[in-house]
């Protein structure tokens, strides 16, 4: 978990610098792009984690993939390469976005479902989360997990509502094993 602590430090430093340069929002968009791209690409993630691939190759690849990003985001990649920490780039991007959301007062609601949410259902969930949290700035993050069988799991901060079929089956199993 030393990588997680380092990721928080890098993310805080980038956020502080972005705020002083008034580019926090642009860097936020870059970090979301970086985190999503690395999460979706097994090859890119493997390359970043590989100790065999040279730093120069990693840097060239990242600069080509993320060529339209802010200079602060490019500088982060350079710094991580120099410090031999490029493997934590995805974690830094995720932590940056979390810190940015906290700074802006945005709540992120994670909805875990078996299939992607439709636009209509997403707007209903968004309205419900706004009513529950009393906040206007809410984002929905839809996670697909087929292991919940059906239903959904809603998580906002420390609150979690589990209405999944897998959870209901586990409760039934516990009831039967106790009797």
Length of the chain: 179
So what's the pLDDT on residue 2? 58
So what's the pLDDT on residue 76? 95
pTM of the predicted structure, to 2 decimals: 0.73
Shared domain check, 88 and 7:
yes
Contacts for 58 with CB less than 8 Å, ≥ 6 apart: 47, 48, 81, 86
Residue 107 phi, psi (nearest 5) = -95, 140
Shared domain check, 112 and 98:
no
Cβ proximity of 14 and 96 under 8 Å:
yes
CA distance 51 to 142: 33
So what's the pLDDT on residue 88? 95
| Residues of the domain holding 29 | 2-102
Q: What's the domain count of the chain? A: 2
So what's the pLDDT on residue 82? 95
So what's the pLDDT on residue 179? 64
So what's the pLDDT on residue 5? 92
Residue after which a domain boundary falls, among 50, 83, 102: 102
Residue 118 phi, psi (nearest 5) = -75, 165
So what's the pLDDT on residue 107? 83
pLDDT beneath 70: ranges in the chain = 1-2, 179
């Amino acid at each position: 978990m030393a990588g997680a602590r380092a990721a928080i430090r890098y993310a805080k430093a980038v956020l502080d610098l972005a705020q002083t340069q008034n580019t926090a929002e642009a860097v936020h968009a870059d970090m979301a792009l970086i985190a999503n791209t690395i999460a979706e690409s097994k090859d890119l993630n493997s390359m970043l984690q590989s100790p065999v691939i040279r730093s120069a190759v990693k840097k060239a690849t990242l600069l080509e993939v993320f060529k339209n990003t802010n200079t602060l985001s490019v500088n982060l990649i350079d710094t991580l390469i120099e410090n031999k920490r490029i493997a934590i780039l995805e974690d830094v991007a995720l932590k940056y976005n979390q810190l940015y959301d906290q700074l802006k007062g945005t709540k992120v609601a994670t909805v875990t479902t078996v299939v992607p949410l439709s636009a209509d259902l997403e707007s209903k969930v968004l309205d419900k989360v706004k009513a529950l949290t009393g906040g206007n700035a809410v984002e929905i993050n839809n996670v697909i997990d087929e292991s919940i069988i059906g239903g959904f799991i809603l998580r906002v901060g420390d609150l979690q509502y589990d209405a999944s079929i897998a959870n209901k089956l586990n409760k039934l199993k516990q009831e039967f094993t106790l009797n």
